[in-house]
Amino acid sequence: MIGLIQRVSEANVTVDNNIIGEIGHGMLVLLGVEKDDGDAEIEKLANKLCRYRMFSDSDGKMNLNVEQVEGEILVVSQFTLVADTQRGNRPGFSRGASPAHGEDIYSRFVGALKQKGMRVQTGEFGADMKVGLINDGPVTFQFHV
């Protein structure tokens, strides 16, 4: 499972010209699911994101997590994160989850964040989405669990 996270001052996701998920200050999570991902990866990444100190304290140091700043999380599925880009000029997706497995893991990951008390918005799995954001910093991190 790969999570590309960005600290944002705002973010939204649009499907068919309709905003379906929108947050203010918080974290945008682009989530790529690999074919062998399961409960362990869901829990590990959810825990990491909830605790990750990527928000500035009063001294300007990254010492606060999303909960401490009362931030929100927008989770958007992005299968291209699991692409193999090492050979040739076209990405390969053999590491990626099947659509059914990917959607299941994506939904369970969102549920894990909500169980931890996070305020979560989502995109629409498998849809052609437009993601808008203002990256605050810019601050971007990648996790591969």
pLDDT digits (tens, 9 = 90+) for 24-58: 999 999 999 999 999 999 999 999 999 999 999 99
Predicted structure pTM score: 0.95
The answer to whether residue 14 is catalytic is no
78 is catalytic: yes
Which residue among the candidates 80, 85, 93, 142 is catalytic per the annotation? Answer: 80
Among 135, 144, 145, smallest CA distance to 27 is for 135
Q: Which of 96, 118, 128 is nearest to 29 (CA)?
A: 118
CA distance 57 to 116: 22
Q: Does residue 122 carry a catalytic annotation?
A: no
Give the burial string for 33-45 (b: 16+ CB within 10 Å, else e): bbeebeeebbeeb
pLDDT (0 to 100) of residue 141: 98
What are the tens digits of pLDDT across the range 124-135? 999 999 999 999
- pLDDT digits over 58-101, tens only? 999 999 999 999 999 999 999 999 999 998 999 999 999 999 99
By DSSP bridging, strand 2-15 and strand 26-32 are: antiparallel
Q: Which of 79, 109, 121, 125 is catalytic?
A: 79
